[in-house]
Amino acid sequence: MSKPFDVALGRLTGEDSYSSAPSLFIDGGQERGTFFLETFGCQMNDHDSEKVAGVLLSRGYRQVQTPEAARLILYNTCSIREKAAQKVFSRLGEYRAKQSEGKIIGVLGCVAQQEGEGIFERAPWVSLVCGSASYRKLPELIAQLESGNHRVTGLDTDTDETFETEITRRDNPFRAYLTIIEGCDKACSYCVVPYTRGPERSRASDAILREVRQLAELGYSEVQLLGQTVNSYADPSPRKMRFAELLLAVAEVPGIRRVRFTTSHPSDFTPDIVAAIETHPKVCEHVHLPVQSGSTKVLRAMQRSYTREEYLETIAVIRGAKRPIAITTDIIVGFPGETEADFEETLSLLDEVKYDSLFSFKYSPRPHTPSMKMNDAIPEEERSRRLAILQNKQREIQTARNRKLIGQTFEVLVSGKSRRENQWSGYTSSYRLANFTSHVEQLLGTYVQVRVTGVTPNSLVGEHVV
Ligand code: SAH
Ligand code: SF4
Ligand code: F3S
């Protein structure tokens, strides 16, 4: 295959391709220095993509909105469940023909890390495979492609580095994501993340606070601190800031009005986090605390490192706070060996905790994970049945909980405008979606008071109180 890309680069800049900007000249209607980036998966992946885009933009690339218009097509992928991983391969299949048009196709993220060079076998039209623990190497890998290599990989997870970038091209104009801890050191028996994102690495607190100050200067008032186990944060700097202290320090940055954080692991959820929410109104009154199952027996098989009772003790501390704190969770149904009685325990946990919202999943066996080899798999139809029962129950709980909010007024950060006239949407501090009417002309990005006049299971309906 000819390599007009590299040739063009050398010709344009006269420099070694590593430090050069890509050519922007047109070849068959397609700019050579263009990239398309599609992201699957969690908020951490979304945010990684914002950083990857920043890296490419800082090297002179231009982002385009379709793969057709791009020279470099990148997929940042998720492998948390089988369906997510399948979606990636079907998307790659759609772009099989593109390689012959001289496009470069790269796979990033968790499928890249999990499948490694196997991706080249399954999709030989891919030329770059790089997992998130190796993104610091991305510019170098892209340069290698530019200088003629046909296949490059970044698959090391043996690293103590975090992915720092000079530029982050943020997608969300209202909420700025900030990863404070990468990777995961837990070993939940069903989960690919420890394999796909490498060991836990925390970012120094002063670097985090510096970025928050920059974000405030750019006009962001809401930041969301991210980590697969965000509350396991361990400041590597001599300051040794605790996670709860970091929440307060971020809340103190002038211009910041809301601090969110996700995902919290129950075993590391210390009472000082609740105290931080209680004492500082800018720390949002919402905790996402995945429980996974209400049965201690299943939790043990999942290697979740807490019992139902210990989890409920943590919930009691959160519910006992002086400010009401919304609690949301994740649940897996149909884990191997989950009996009807175990499942009933999950249902009774929903009654006890009364979550404000939850994400629920059918167990999906994942390669390399210990649960893959467990006996007593639950048949697919049974997993579906349990999921439906769980979701129905939660819908009733949520509707009842939301109904109690009718008549109350909440502060909403407005982040959406409906096509319907005078209809806006945004989130409360407790992370409830509010759809509301207002006759004010421009509200996006502002904080408004919304009185709740009605509810659905998943949202509040209200009106702007001027
Ligand atoms: N770090 C977070 C969760 C990350 S993955 C935590 O520890 O809670 C998001 C959710 O996907 C998990 O909470 C879990 O509910 C679900 N999940 C992870 N692996 C899964 C699997 N193999 N099958 C089904 N659901 C899974
Ligand atoms: Fe996966 Fe468990 Fe780590 Fe969450 S804590 S990312 S579920 S291994
Ligand atoms: Fe998916 Fe990886 Fe996130 S597996 S959920 S993209 S950490």
The mean pLDDT value for 134-160 works out to 91
Point out the ligand 2 atom lying closest to the alpha carbon of residue 197.
Answer: 6
- Number of alpha carbons in the 13 Å side-chain half-sphere of residue 281: 3
Give the distance (Å) from ligand 1 centre to CA of residue 293.
11
Spell out the domains of the chain, with CATH numbers in brackets.
3-154 (3.40.50.12160), 171-403 (3.80.30.20), 409-465 (2.40.50.140)
Tell me what pLDDT residue 161 has: 87
Give the distance (Å) from ligand 3 centre to CA of residue 131.
11
Q: Is the pLDDT of residue 1 over 60?
A: no
The helix (H) or strand (E) run that includes residue 363 is none
- Number of alpha carbons in the 13 Å side-chain half-sphere of residue 353: 35
Banded pLDDT at 95 (limits 50, 70, 90): confident
Write out pLDDT tens, residues 403-413: 999 999 999 99
Banded pLDDT at 331 (limits 50, 70, 90): very high
Mode of pairing for the β-strands spanning 26-27 and 30-31: antiparallel
Q: How many CB atoms are closer than 10 A to CB 201?
A: 20
Cis check for the bond before 263: say yes or no (omega within 30 of 0).
yes
Tell me what pLDDT residue 86 has: 93
Indicate which residue's Cα is closest to atom 2 of ligand 2. Answer: 188
Q: In this prediction, what percent of the chain has a pLDDT beyond 70? A: 92
Residues touching ligand 3 (Cβ under 6 Å) are 41-42, 44-45, 78-80, 109-110, 192-193, 196-197
Helices 138-146, 43-58: axis angle to 10 degrees equals 50
Tell me what pLDDT residue 100 has: 65
Mode of pairing for the β-strands spanning 409-417 and 447-456: antiparallel
Best probe residue, ligand 3, of 42, 75, 113, 192 (max atoms within 8 Å of C-beta): 42
Tell me what pLDDT residue 374 has: 96
Indicate which residue's Cα is closest to atom 4 of ligand 2. Answer: 228
Banded pLDDT at 158 (limits 50, 70, 90): confident
The mean pLDDT value for 380-391 works out to 98
Tell me what pLDDT residue 48 has: 97
Of residues 68 and 184, more confidently modeled: 184
Best probe residue, ligand 1, of 44, 78, 80 (max atoms within 8 Å of C-beta): 80
The mean pLDDT value for 435-446 works out to 95
Banded pLDDT at 244 (limits 50, 70, 90): very high
What rounded mean pLDDT belongs to the chain?
91
Tell me what pLDDT residue 102 has: 79
CA separation, residue 366 to residues 139, 191, 219, 371, 408 (Å): 30, 7, 41, 8, 44
Q: Is the pLDDT of residue 13 over 80?
A: no
Point out the ligand 2 atom lying closest to the alpha carbon of residue 265.
Answer: 5
Q: Is the pLDDT of residue 12 over 60?
A: no
Tell me what pLDDT residue 17 has: 29
Alpha helices, H only, 254-322: 271-279, 296-302, 308-319
Ligand of minimum distance to the alpha carbon of 45: 3
Indicate which residue's Cα is closest to atom 13 of ligand 1. Answer: 330
Give the distance (Å) from ligand 2 centre to CA of residue 329.
13
Tell me what pLDDT residue 32 has: 64
The Cα–Cα gap between 98 and 18 comes to 25
Q: Which has the closest alpha carbon to 390: 347, 327, 355?
A: 347
Indicate which residue's Cα is closest to atom 18 of ligand 1. Answer: 191
Tell me what pLDDT residue 99 has: 61
Banded pLDDT at 14 (limits 50, 70, 90): very low
CB of 332 within 6 A of ligand 1: the answer is yes
CB of 293 within 6 A of ligand 1: the answer is no
Tell me what pLDDT residue 10 has: 22
Best probe residue, ligand 3, of 40, 81, 193 (max atoms within 8 Å of C-beta): 193
Tell me what pLDDT residue 146 has: 84
Point out the ligand 2 atom lying closest to the alpha carbon of residue 304.
Answer: 2
Give the distance (Å) from ligand 1 centre to CA of residue 84.
12
Q: Is the pLDDT of residue 36 over 90?
A: yes
Write out pLDDT tens, residues 177-219: 999 999 999 999 999 999 999 999 999 999 999 999 999 999 9
Write out pLDDT tens, residues 274-294: 999 999 999 999 999 999 999
Q: Is the dihedral of CA 278, 280, 283, 285 positive or negative?
A: positive
